[in-house]
Amino acid sequence: MSLDIAPQIPTGRQLIQSYRDGKFRIAQVEYPGPVIVFPDRTLVWNVCSFEDLSPNDFAEIVAAATMVEVLLLGCGATMRLPPPALKTELKQAGIVIEPMDTGAACRTFNVLMSEDRRVAAALLPTP
């Protein structure tokens, strides 16, 4: 008897396949640098660093608030707390932000997405 332990990913969903050397491989496409990943699409995220994050950097996510209940924030090599203004803006849009290191955010996104949760990930690579 065999047991398939791979998560069942619906067709057309974005699976984060790998993350290394500052690059992400998502749904067979390689992205150098920061990205925002939704279950149905991936966007290049034009941010420079965690320290410079502002609520404006999350406009795409807030615009998709009806499709996102949890935002995983991949902070780089270690988890850091996001700016209070960002937490407040996302909360007002009905989005819970969960900061974590980027590797954990990638793994968690895949699990939540496979469970058909309303999830997005904003991922910063490790410098």
One pLDDT digit (tens) per residue for the chain, 127 residues: 445 444 566 667 899 999 998 999 999 999 999 999 999 999 999 998 999 999 999 999 999 999 999 999 999 999 999 989 899 999 999 999 999 999 999 999 999 998 889 999 999 998 6
Amino acid at 38: F
The contacts of residue 107 (CB under 8 Å, 6+ apart) are: none
CATH classification of the domain holding 50: 3.40.1230.10
Asked whether residue 8 is assigned to any structural domain, the reply reads: no
Taking the C-alpha atoms of residue 42 and residue 122, their distance in angstroms, rounded to an integer, is: 10
Full residue range of the structural domain in which residue 41 is found: 35-123
Q: Does residue 98 fall inside a structural domain?
A: yes
